[in-house]
Amino acid sequence: MEMNIYFPGGKRVYADYGGFTIETDQPARGGGDDSAPAPFDLFLASIGTCAGIFALGFMQQRGIDPKGSKLTMRPQFDPEVGLITNIDLELELPAGFPEKYQAAIVNAMNLCSVKKHLHQPPAFNVTTVTA
């Protein structure tokens, strides 16, 4: 699972992984061109889309049409500590969603691997090599 990170110019940082190029940039206020999401924006998006794929999979496994459903994520930033301290995920269920599955779909969304990694974060080993 190697990912290659490189610097194409300006404040842009790209990552090649799994046949895709993931582009990031800094906003104009951070000296970038605002040409792509900032790395932290992708981090937040990974939380929401991970929960979303678990919700979608739950509905698909039960033959529930997900049309009309959507997931809204609201991160809450604490300026005193300079971090997001709470993330609210609100799933709008499609019309006709069975009430008996409401708690179960929340449980499914909580299985998201990104969320699990935040509860048990990996160790980071940062090193350098000379080209």
DSSP the chain: ---EEEEEETTEEEEEETTEEEEE---GGGTS---S--HHHHHHHHHHHHHHHHHHHHHHHTT---TT-EEEEEEEEETTTTEEEEEEEEEEPPTT--GGGHHHHHHHHTT-HHHHHHHSPPP--------
| pLDDT-derived band at 1, boundaries 50, 70, 90 | confident
Q: Which domains does the chain have, with CATH numbers?
A: 37-119 (3.30.300.20)
- pLDDT per position as a tens digit, 44-103: 999 999 999 999 999 999 999 999 999 999 999 999 999 999 999 999 999 999 999 999
Q: What is the pTM of this model?
A: 0.90
